[in-house]
Structure 1
Amino acid sequence: MGKKECGVYESIINRALEIKHPLDVIWELTYRCNEKCEHCYVLQTDRNELSKERCMKILQELADAGVLFITFTGGEPFLREDIFDLISEARRLKFAVTIFTNGTLLGLEECKWLSKKNLRSMEISLYGSKPETHDSITGVQGSFHSTIRAVECLIENGVRVVLKMIVMRKNVNELGELVRYAQECNVRFRWSSVLTPRNDGDVSFMKDMRLSDNELRTITEREFSLDEEPSPDLLLKAFDDLENKIPCSAGHTTCGILPDGTVLACPQFVQGTNNLKDSGFLEIWNESTHFKAIRNITESNLPECETCAAKFFCFRCQAHALLEDGNLLGPSRESCREAFLKLELYESKTKIPATQD
C-alpha cells in the first residue's frame, strides 16, 4: 500500500471512529476444525451454525450498513459446504474479503477458483519450519505438508497470501526459518507471542507455552515482523486525533459475529445476548448495551494504563483483560509484559552515550 493509499485509508478510519461506523467484521462461520491446535482458544462446541440462507441475508445487511471489510474465519471455514457460495456473495457485494484458514482442505481446483475472486488475502498459520514441530502443535500428522502445499499452490495461482505464526516455547527457535521462507515466497509474514485465553476463561494451558522474558526480548529485538500494511488497530494516529482516546477499535469500527449469529464488539468477548436471528445488524450496533458499554471506555477510564510509561508500546486487549483478570477496565497482563520489554529495548537503543572528558 503506497503513501497516497495509506492517507486515504487513515482518513476513512478517522471518520469512522468519530461517527462509530462499522467498517470491519470478523465472522467466525464455524467452530468445527480439522486440526486440534494445543493453543487454540476455540472450544469445540455444538453451537448451532447459521444456515446458508441466513448468512446470505446477513451479508446483505452488512453491505447496507456500509461495512467494507469481512474476514471469514472459524474454526476452519472451509469445513462449511457453503463457504464458496458465501465468498462469491461477499465479493458480489464488493466486500474486501480476508480468509483465515489452515489451508489443508485446499487443492488445485480450490486455489484456481479462489484466484478469480480477487481476495484481500488468505491468511494461513504455520507453527514451525519443521513438520514435526508444526504437526505436534496442530495435533494432526501430515498437516505441515498439507499446509505448505496449499500455500505454494495459492501463490502459484496469484492469490495474496499472508503467513502467520503464534510463537511459543515449542517453536520459538524456528521463527527465523519461517521468516526466510516467507521472504523466499515473497509474501507478508506476521508473528505474535500473545496467547488467547480459551472461550470458557481457561488460562491454565498457557503457562507452559508462553515465552520467557529472555525469549520474548530476543525475538522482539530482531524485529522479525514483515507486516507493513496498516490495519485499523495499527493506525494509532487515528486514535490520537480523538478528544477521548479509545483503547481498541472493537465496537467502534469493528465487531465480530459468532457461528450462531451472536454479535459482539470482538469475538473474544465470547458471551453476548444480541443475535442476528432476533435483531438487525444496525439495531445491535447502534442500540445494544454491550456496544454502548464498550464505547464508553476511553483511556481516562483506565487509570493504571493512562499513566503507564509503556502505554505507547502497548496493544492492550480488553477481552484478554476480562478473561484473564475479570476486569474489563484493568490491564491486559501479557500486553503489559510485551510493552515493557519494547520500552526497555527502545530506551536501550535511544540512550545517548555519556560524553568523555
Structure 2
Amino acid sequence: MFAEETFVRNANSIEQIREKLWIPQRHPHVGGIELTPFCNLRCVHCYLQDQEKHKLLSTQEIKLIIDKLFDAGVLFLYFTGGEIFTRLDFLEIYIYAKKKGFIVELLTNGTLIETKAIEIFNMYPPASISISIYGKDEESYFRVTGQNGMYDKVINTLNLLSQNSIHFEIKYIGMKENQEDYPAIYSLAERYGAEFSYSMELFPTLNGNGCTKNHMISLEKIVEIESKIPGKKEEFKRLSEIPNSFINQKEVPLYLCDMAISNFLVDYQGYLNPCHKCRFKKWNMLLDDFNTAWDDYESLLKEKTSKNNRCMKCKYLMMCSPCVVVNFLSTGDYNMPSDTICKLTHLRVDMCNSIE
C-alpha cells in the first residue's frame, strides 16, 4: 500500500495512475448511471426505442447507488438516458453526486437545459456536457427526432452554456436523415470553441432489432464524408498499419475493451452492467454489494474467442476494433461481425491508401 500511495503522489496525471495502477488492478473508476429510458424526442436511430419501460428508481434509490459507487472508489461518473433532463429530480441527483466529489459528465440531447440548470452548473460545474446534435436546422432535426422546434432549443442551450463558460462538446450523430450536415455541425462546434466528435455507425437496439440500420448512411457516403475531414486519411493509414498481434496467438480474450476492467453502467432499474451495450439482469445495486458484483464480472475476462473468429485473423483488427457485443446484437454471434463493419473497414483502407 505504501508503494501505491507513493506512486499516486508522484504521478504526473490521472491518466498515468489509470494506466499503471487502476487498469492492472481492475479498479472500477469510470461509471455511468442510466437515469431513465424515457426521452422527449423520438429519434429514428435510438437503440432503446423497443425497450420495455419499467418504473424509474426514486431519488433516494439513486442516491443509495451513488453512495455505493463512492465507497467502491469510482472517480468519474456520467449520467445518461434516455434524456436525463426529463427527470424532474435530475438537478438534485446531480448536486448530490458533485458534493460527493465525483468528476461528472452529462450526456444529453440539449433541448431541456434552462436557466435553473445553468445556475446550478455555475455553482457545481460539470467536467463536460456532451450534446448530441441531429442536424443543421429544424428540417433535419424533425426528420431525425419527429419533433418540432428542437433545433432552436439546442442552439439556445449552446448559447447559455457558452455565455456562462460551461464546458461542453458537440457530437454529430450522422444518418440518412442528416447526411449532408457534417460540415455545418463541425462549423457550429468551431463557432462555440467546443470539442467535436462524430458517429455514423448505427448499431441494433439492445433487443437486437436491426431497424436502426435502415437509417444508416451508405458505406460509400460515410467514406466520402470522412475523406474530406482534414487528417482523417492519415489517421486511418496509421491505424491500418498497426500489426494484429493476436494472429498467431492460440488463446485470445473475447473482450478486448475496458468493460469489466475499468468501465461499467448501472441501468435505470439499478442493475450493474459491464458496459452500456452489454446488459445483464444479475446484480442489482439496490440489494447487492458492488464489490461482489464487480468480482463476479471478472469471469467475463476469462472468456476466449472461438477458433473461427475471423477478426482475430484480420490484418486490420487494430483499425476496426470491433465490439463483440455489437457483433452479437447484429449477427447473434459474439465472434461474428456484421458484413457492414468489415466492408466499411476495407473501404476506409482503400481511402487511406489513396493518399498522394
Please, what TM-score do these two structures have when normalized by structure 2?
A: 0.85
- Aligned-residue Cα RMSD (Å) equals 2.7
CA shift, 1:335, in A, is 3.6
Count of aligned residue pairs for this structure pair? 330
2:145 is the counterpart of 1:138: yes
- What amino acid does structure 1 have at the position aligned with 2:120? W
Match of 1:77 among 65, 73, 84: 84
140-149 or 35-44, larger mean C-alpha shift: 35-44
Provide closer, same or farther for how the CA distance between residues 332 and 272 of structure 1 changes in structure 2, counting only shifts above 3 A: farther
Unaligned runs of 5+ in 2: 1-10, 233-241
In structure 1, the residue matched to 2:288 is 279
- Aligned counterparts of 1:332 and 1:24: Cα–Cα separation in 2: 28
Structure 2 residue aligned with 1:177: 184
Alignment partner of 2:207 out of 197, 200, 214: 200
Task: Give per-residue Cα distances to partners, 1:129-150, cap 9 Å, x unaligned.
Answer: 1211112211110011111111
Secondary structure in structure 2 of the residue aligned to 1:269? coil
CA distance, structure 1, for counterparts of residue 269 and residue 330 of structure 2:
24
In the other structure, the counterpart of 2:302 is 296
Contact 2:202–2:212 (Cα < 8 Å) also in 1: no
Task: State the SS of the aligned residue for 1:268.
Answer: coil
Alpha-carbon distance change, 132 to 263 in structure 1, aligned in 2, over 3 angstroms = same
**2:269 corresponds to 1:263:** no
% same residue: 25
SS in 2 for 1:275: coil
| Pair 1:313 & 2:319 matched | yes
Equivalent of 1:345 in 326, 348, 351: 351
Please give the secondary structure, in 1, of the residue aligned with 2:130.
Answer: strand
Amino acid at match of 1:113: I
d(CA) in 1 for partners of 2:349, 2:149: 40
Question: How far, CA to CA, are the matches of 2:13 and 2:313 in structure 1?
Answer: 30
1:48-90 C-alpha deviation (Å, 9 max, x unpaired): 2222112112111111111111110111111112211111111
Q: Is the 8 A contact 2:306 2:335 kept in 1?
A: no
What's the CA shift for 1:128?
0.9
Change (3 A) 1:140 1:14: farther
- 2:34 maps to 28
Q: CA deviation at 1:171?
A: 1.0
Q: Which residue of 2 is the match for residue 233 of structure 1? A: none
The residue type paired with residue 192 of structure 1 is: S
The equivalent residue for 1:159 is: 166
Compared CA separation, residues 46 and 303, structure 1 to 2 (3 A): closer
Cross-structure match for 2:4: none
Answer whether contact 2:108 2:130 (CA < 8 A) is retained: yes
Instruction: Determine the structure 2 residue equivalent to 1:247.
Output: 256
Q: 2:156 aligns with which of 140, 149, 153?
A: 149
CA contact under 8 A between 1:103 and 1:124: conserved in structure 2? yes
Cα pair distance change 1:64/1:337, threshold 3 Å: farther
Secondary structure of the residue aligned to 2:353 is helix
Offset of 1:7 from its aligned partner?
A: 6.0
| Residues 70-109 of structure 1 mapped to structure 2, 5 A cutoff | 70-109=77-116
- Give the AA of the match of 1:267: H
The 2-side partners of 1:266 and 1:120 are apart by: 21
Residue 217 of structure 1 pairs with residue 226 of structure 2: no
State yes or no: 1:12 paired with 2:18. yes
User: Equivalents in 2 of 1:74, 1:95: separation in Å?
Assistant: 19
Following superposition, the deviation at residue 10 of structure 1 comes to 4.5
CA contact (8 A) 1:124 1:151 kept: no
TM-score relative to the length of structure 1: 0.84
